[in-house]
Amino acid sequence: MENKLNINKIFKPYKPCKPYKACKPFILFFSLLLISNFALADNIKIAKTSLPKNIPTIKEKVINNNKSSIQSNNKPIAKKQLSANNKTKKLPITINNFTLKNGLQVIHIPNHRAPVVNHTIWYKAGSADSPYNKSGLAHFVEHLMFKGTTKYPLEEYKKIINKLGAVQNAYTYYDTTMYYVTVAKEYLDNIMELESDRMQNLVFTEKVIEKERSVVLQERRERIESNPIHKIAEAANATFFWLHPYGMPNIGYKHHIESYTLNDAKNFYNTWYCPNNAILVITGDIDLNTVKLLTHKYYEKIPQKILPKRDRPIEPEHHNVKGKLQISDPQINNVFLQRIYDAPNARTTNIKTALSLHVLAHILGDSTSGRLHKSFVEQFGIAHQITASFNGTFRDPYSFTISATPVNQSDLTFLETAIEYEILKLIKNGVTKEELRNSKNEIQYSFRYENDSLTSISEYIGLNLANGISLEDILSWLDIIENITLSDISKVANDYLKIGPRITVYTYPISYN
Amino acid sequence: MNKIFKFNLIFKLLISIVILCFINTSFALVQTNEFTTKSGIQVVLVTDKTTDLISISMAFTGAGSISDPLHKCGLSFTAMEMLYRGKIDGLNRHKRIRKLIKLGVLYGINLNISYDNLYINFKTPKENFTKTLQEVNKILMFRDFDIDDLNNIKTYIPQNTNINMSEETAFANKVLLNKVFPEHPYGNPINGMYDDKQTLTKTDLINYLDNSLAKDNLYISVVGDINQKQLEKVIDTTFSNLPKNTKLAKLPKPKLILNGDITTMYKDSPQSGASFIQDGIQTKHKDYYALVTLLDILSAKPFTSRLWYETREKRGIVYDIGADLQNSLKNKAFIIGRFKCDNDNVQTIIDIIRNEWRKIKEKGVSNQEFEDAKTGLIGSYALNFTTPESICSYLLFLKLQKINVDFIKNRNKKIKSLTLKDVNAATKYLTPEKLTFVIVGKPQLGNKTSINTKKNTNSNTNTNTSANTKIKTDTNFKTNTKTESKTKPKQ
């Protein structure tokens, strides 16, 4: 018996074939490829692209924090994961994550719906990092970031942004400051050049400082002093936090703003604005190779800095001291109640505890499906609205808050007692399986909505990373939430709500008797 | 043989490319598909397989507040509120919302009234698209309104809106439109007049809905993972019980009455809010893009416009200021602006605005300004397509303006083809002396022209600004009170 391999079966002899027949699939393939390029490019041939012409293949591997959730091959998520199954546990998202040699963390989330990209840079310094007698300095520096650098002075910078048709803005949070730009994808190169430049070369002049101080005061008057809701929030925070800078307004107090100097702004910028204190999130119609090339080109050369210890005043023990704050204002027309409880945060506590509090806030205080809403708004009709919220992703512990607007101003005390009763009932009897299931489903649906927008998903990932939560933790949230049990909910309710609110805020119109 | 083979290959490839280039009918930033269903409903679809949610925007044209009959100002708004907040099929609003949330429709089904149209917007997981659309139909076809519900809706004033009453600029905007459209429904507040609303009956609501909601005035835009065949079937099946034709009355064309004066309404507030207006041109006008480019330079673009520079950058007396071309009303376009500032600075800002208007009229714009604005308008166009909702909203806007969606691929060409001469010629549409202002607050003004102020700490304020205009305001300043588009598309 012959055991030789039949070579003709393995390798078919080459026969020249009719060109058209052989090439038909290739013609179709290349034609479709070219057509799709025309289709997308027809309206985006706005200017010459400044992307490098020859893009070599990146050989280094993507660093994945959570291999089970991060797609390492850059393909869109498989449809089966996005199916009707709302019990999807894993975060259905493609994320690429790498860090440059100078410490800049780069997150890339591809989305090819439209030829647009969003470039957001998160500096890990916010208003809570402002010097204690210069509240809001971080916000002031945010304003100054739009005033030009040595290479791109103010007018030049504005012209470029204008020419690119980019939409840009910035926000200062307590723990981070972010700068975002959304632009047609071929301008990502230009944007990175501008952003990397202003990370290191911002120019400070007395004239600009003076002008911008005036603008920030104007903003404070518009956003806080003319707005009763923000005035209440400012007073409530100042009462709740005895020492921690979360008790100061993000925008700063008026007398602090008036005292800002050039050196104050410069020192803050020089201390905190550097690549090893920043996270760059790029979402949109751009591939990983290009992101890597551009970040290497523009950001890698920026030297890192030695960062100071993020030494904030620590909130002291409160020794069960509880307070009541009463606020009246001529611009307020209604009675409003807030019960503010001490609560941990995701970064410094067990993540399951923080997420359980998140679910508890939803079950208790969702504006349409929450227990409190069903009882007080629908069943008894004693409140116009009642909600619960939990701020668990701040860098330091913040609060759990229940807010309500009574129907009749005279029902305030009754409403307070009723809320207390409802919480004790929950602690004693727990929540139902249906409530827990509905809450989990809704949280999972909400992620699908976040993921549907370039800016939403960028903020979802960027803000939490900047607040000190690891990417691995963020990506495992849906998993953890899925595994939260009825007893987890009861436990956090007992641990954090049973003790009662540390501060209760009553807001009245001037006419209230 | 090989050379011939290669030549054939390249030749055929090139021919195929050339042929296919001319076949495709809609090169666009997004691939759009316009069609009319068998039952006559007009639809724009973008099939997007990258998302597992379907976004939808619907409009019933002519069903907005302009359809409110005389002495029934607020009928359309009240009807919309009943459908949005009232009990339908025995379920109150909260229960309806919870039902939708269980379907994954997290933001609910949103109904809005504008001056011209009734809008419905929602986003749903694609697996529940049909069920959600059926819920929409249930809402639109409901007529068995509860009388108690109606009475509550008529007197409903959202509490959180009361607490936010310091929105001077929004109030100034309302008053301004009332002043400049004295004889047309565009001058009435979208949410109606309190007294008129108290007289509304169930029959009024039913008549409004029966007359205003039909297949011939329904426009739908959809973005999501669904094809034309599937969508057409779902739409025709779901809305099969909508009447074929509307019975809306024709309205006279609106006339803008501009006196170039300043009206103030006293409000005890540390800052004043202001709104100002002049005439404009509509989207299909031949000079439309020239005027848009001009306004970009003058007042529309934050951070870089001349107005922004003069008031915020140079003087630091304002945080936000702008004026742009409002073109989403059916029969009227105008340039409308707003600002908020300290009471002391109001006159300064008014003077700056008029001065900038005059300056640009006399001297035009420079070539650099023109080129920068043009490039910016071209580059920013893609930002209309960043989210499914923005795509939906923009495509619906084009449909309502009777602009073919193929326009998307030509729009940038139109901007590119503009010349400096065109833009400077568009300054003829600017009328600095006719700029009409309304200020709400405690402004310190210089030369007042036509002002009749009344100190009144009550938020229900009546102010006569002319013999024929009575401005009656409600405390109900809801976010539903707005002009046509929710997010103004970048033109």
- Contacts by residues A5-14 (CB-CB < 8 Å, ≥ 24 positions apart): none
Tell me the mean pLDDT in the region B169-176: 89
Query: DSSP letters of A494-511?
Result: HHHTTT--SEEEEEEETT
How many residues are recorded in chain B? 491
Q: Per residue, what are the HEC states of A448-483?
A: HHHCCCHHHHHHHHHHHHHCCCCHHHHHHHHHHHHC
In whole angstroms, give the CA distance from residue B41 to residue B70.
Answer: 30
B437: phi then psi, degrees, rounded to nearest 5 = -120, 145
Tell me the mean pLDDT in the region A307-327: 91
Q: What is the pLDDT of residue B9?
A: 61
Tell me the mean pLDDT in the region B164-176: 75
What's the token pair of residue A345?
């945060």
Tell me the mean pLDDT in the region A358-362: 96
Res A63 pLDDT > 80: no
Q: Which residues have CB under 8 Å from B421's CB, separation 6+?
A: none
* Greatest mean pLDDT range, A89-93, A146-150, A151-155, B166-170: A146-150
Res B65 pLDDT > 60: yes
In whole angstroms, give the CA distance from residue A55 to residue A296.
Answer: 13
Place of tokens 């005027």: B291
Among A226, A331, A170, CA closest to B341:
A226
Size of the A and B interface in Cβ pairs below 8 Å: 233
**Under 8 Å between Cβ of A116 and A184:** yes
In whole angstroms, give the CA distance from residue B215 to residue A322.
Answer: 61
Confidence label for A333 from pLDDT (cuts 50, 70 and 90)? confident
Chain A contact for B295 (CB, 8 A cutoff): no
Q: What is the pLDDT of residue B268?
A: 83
Distance from CA of B178 to the nearest CA of A (A): 25
Return the exposure string of B67-84: e unless at least 16 CB atoms fall within 10 Å of the residue's CB, then b. Answer: bbeeebbbbbbbbbbbbb
In whole angstroms, give the CA distance from residue B402 to residue B283.
Answer: 10
In whole angstroms, give the CA distance from residue B213 to residue A206.
Answer: 61
- In DSSP terms, B59 is beta-bridged to B119, B219
Q: What is the pLDDT of residue A25?
A: 52
CA-atom Rg of chain B in angstroms: 25
Sign of CA dihedral A344, A347, A348, A354: positive
Confidence label for A71 from pLDDT (cuts 50, 70 and 90)? very low
Q: What three-state secondary structure class fits B441?
A: strand
For A:256-285, CB contacts with B below 8 A are: none
Q: What angle do CA A342, A343, A345 make, to 5 degrees?
A: 145
**Under 8 Å between Cβ of B338 and B276:** yes
Tell me the percentage of chain A whose pLDDT exceeds 70: 82
Q: What is the pLDDT of residue A386?
A: 96
- How many beta carbons lie within 10 A of that of residue B106, not counting itself? 18
Query: DSSP letters of B60-86?
Result: EET-SGGGPPTT-TTHHHHHHHHHHHS
**Under 8 Å between Cβ of B417 and B292:** no
Q: What is the pLDDT of residue B468?
A: 25
Q: What three-state secondary structure class fits A265?
A: helix
Chain B contact for A438 (CB, 8 A cutoff): yes
Q: What is the pLDDT of residue A39?
A: 36
* Integer angstrom CA distances of residue A4 from A7, A12, A155, B64: 8, 16, 79, 84
Q: Which of A2, A60, A142, A193 is catalytic?
A: A142
The gap between the terminal CA atoms of chain B, to the nearest Å, is: 56
Distance from CA of A247 to the nearest CA of B (A): 23
* A153 neighbourhood in chain B, CB within 8 Å: none
Q: What is the pLDDT of residue A287?
A: 95
**Which residue among A34, A161, A334 places its CB closest to the CB of B163?**
A334
Q: What three-state secondary structure class fits B96?
A: helix
User: What is the residue type of B148?
Assistant: D
Confidence label for B470 from pLDDT (cuts 50, 70 and 90)? very low
Tell me the percentage of chain A whose pLDDT exceeds 90: 63
In whole angstroms, give the CA distance from residue A188 to residue A119.
Answer: 8
Cβ contact, residue pair A167, B383, below 8 Å: yes
* Integer angstrom CA distances of residue A59 from A51, A67, A290, B350: 19, 19, 13, 60
Res B305 pLDDT > 80: yes
Q: What angle do CA B424, B438, B190 make, to 5 degrees?
A: 100
Residue of chain B minimizing CA distance to A207: B314
What's the token pair of residue B474?
């409600």
Tell me the mean pLDDT in the region B472-490: 31
Tell me the mean pLDDT in the region A206-219: 93
Distance from CA of B422 to the nearest CA of A (A): 19
Question: Higher confidence at residue A483 or residue A50?
Answer: A483
Burial of B93 (0-12, 13-18, 19+ CB in 10 A): middle
Chain B contact for A510 (CB, 8 A cutoff): no
Q: What is the pLDDT of residue A30?
A: 52
In whole angstroms, give the CA distance from residue B451 to residue B265.
Answer: 9
pTM for this prediction? 0.77
Classify A319 in phi/psi space as left (phi over 0), alpha (psi -120 to 50) or beta.
Answer: left
In whole angstroms, give the CA distance from residue A423 to residue A493.
Answer: 8
In whole angstroms, give the CA distance from residue B48 to residue A316.
Answer: 53
Among B177, B205, B206, CA closest to B190:
B177
If you average pLDDT over every residue of chain A, what do you get? 83
Mark whether A300 is an active-site residue.
Answer: no
What's the pLDDT tens digit per position in A387-414? Answer: 999 988 899 999 999 999 999 888 888 9
Q: What three-state secondary structure class fits B329?
A: coil
Query: Comparing A52-66, B266-280, B298-312, which segment has the lowest mean pLDDT?
Result: A52-66
In whole angstroms, give the CA distance from residue B377 to residue A163.
Answer: 8
User: What is the residue type of A286?
Assistant: I
CA-atom Rg of chain A in angstroms: 27
**Under 8 Å between Cβ of B116 and B330:** yes
- Strands of A72-146 (E only): list them: 96-99, 105-110, 116-123
* B316 neighbourhood in chain A, CB within 8 Å: 211-215, 218
ipTM of predicted complex: 0.73
Res A238 pLDDT > 60: yes
Q: Which residues have CB under 8 Å from A159's CB, separation 6+?
A: B304, B372
* A447 neighbourhood in chain B, CB within 8 Å: none
Question: Higher confidence at residue A258 or residue B480?
Answer: A258
Q: What is the pLDDT of residue B467?
A: 28
What's the pLDDT tens digit per position in B113-146? Answer: 999 999 999 999 999 999 999 999 999 999 999 9
**Under 8 Å between Cβ of A241 and A323:** no
Chain A contact for B342 (CB, 8 A cutoff): yes
If you average pLDDT over every residue of chain B, what do you get? 83
- In DSSP terms, A106 is beta-bridged to A98, A280
Helix (H) or strand (E) holding A493: helix A486-496
Q: What is the pLDDT of residue A391?
A: 86
Place of tokens 């129907």: A407
For A:114-173, CB contacts with B below 8 A are: 114-116, 118, 146, 158-159, 161-167
Q: What three-state secondary structure class fits A231?
A: helix
* B392 neighbourhood in chain A, CB within 8 Å: none
Confidence label for B450 from pLDDT (cuts 50, 70 and 90)? very low
Chain A contact for B340 (CB, 8 A cutoff): yes
Q: Are strands A323-329 and A177-184 parallel, antiparallel or unpaired?
A: unpaired
Chain A contact for B338 (CB, 8 A cutoff): no
Query: DSSP letters of B450-465?
Result: S-------SSS-EEEE
A390: phi then psi, degrees, rounded to nearest 5 = -130, 120
DSSP state of B35: E
In whole angstroms, give the CA distance from residue A442 to residue A377.
Answer: 21
Res A50 pLDDT > 80: no
In whole angstroms, give the CA distance from residue A127 to residue A137.
Answer: 7
